[in-house]
Structure 1
Amino acid sequence: MQLTPLIAVHMTAAIAAVLLGPVALWARRGHAARQARSQRPRLHRAIGYAWVTLMLVTAISAIFIRDFKLPNIAGYTPVHLLVPIVFGSLFLAFRALLRGNVNTHRRVMVWLYVSACLVAGAFTLLPSRYLGGLVWHQWLGLA
């Protein structure tokens, strides 16, 4: 596999999502006693919408990236299971908001960040994967 424009778009959106996610989560954190002062709803909403957009770009672009070397079905590997998970989680998170259930929204978004950004990102950096090979072999000269 080589760095194509599609993979570059996917990788850029994924890296940006990994970086923006904690900002969106932090901006809405607050302690019960001083919640109004410590929350930053405008920042949370702006960064949150940017993060959701990045996650959608990442998931949609992943549909078109296929790998026939790893265990796959028609080029789709187990990591492609994250595509419907992203769509479903975003649907659940926004439905919870529309229903006024902020706690469910928060739980779903934190879970989505951890699973789709951190866990998937860790698997992406395995030496046998394209980006992992770049990082470990070419850039760092290891293994």
Structure 2
Amino acid sequence: MESLGLIYFHLVTAVLSFLLGTYLFARRKGSPLHKRLGKIYMLLMIATAISTLFIPAQVGPQVFYHFGYIHILSIVTLYTVPESLMAIRRGNVKKHQQGMVILYVLALLVAGALAFTPGRLLHTWVFA
């Protein structure tokens, strides 16, 4: 089994990303606080996505050594974060907003829900 330290790191960054992302969605956009917290959120999301690349898929088929379908969401995250950052730096608010919604829904809500499905570690920890 993979290192529990890596799993704990992933879990902490994912939970912090979820909490911070939820806060950012609920608050006024464009303020200096939003910009500062947004940078932290993006760094947390990148750290979360990178950590998944070292955690083997436990459910479903594996391809290219240990990757599973859920790892596609890591690739989406690693693409969406810099793309959304560049969009807002260019003044493209709509593209930035779309990217942030995609990131939040797919990388946090969908991946988070999948983490609680039978056969996954969080399911075992919470429901066993």
Query: What's the TM-score once normalised by structure 2's chain length?
Result: 0.90
Which blocks of at least 5 consecutive residues in structure 2 are unaligned? none
| 8 Å contact kept, 1:60–1:83 | yes
Q: Which residue of 2 aligns with 1:99?
A: 90
Which is further off, 20-29 or 82-91?
Answer: 20-29
Q: Which residue of 2 aligns with 1:54?
A: 44
Larger-Rg structure: 1
Q: Which residue of 1 aligns with 2:13?
A: 13
- What is the CA–CA distance in structure 2 between the aligned matches of 1:128 and 1:44, rounded to whole Å? 37
Query: What's the TM-score once normalised by structure 1's chain length?
Result: 0.81
Which blocks of at least 5 consecutive residues in structure 1 are unaligned? 30-39, 138-143
* 2:48 partner amino acid: T
Q: Which residue of 2 aligns with 1:136?
A: 127
Root mean square deviation of aligned Cα:
1.7
Whether 1:25 aligns to 2:25 is yes
Q: Which residue of 2 aligns with 1:108?
A: 99
* 2:91 partner amino acid: G
Runs of 4+ in 1 over 4 A off after TM superposition: none
- Give aligned pairs, total: 127
| 8 Å contact kept, 2:59–2:119 | no
| Cα distance, 1:104 vs structure 2 | 1.1
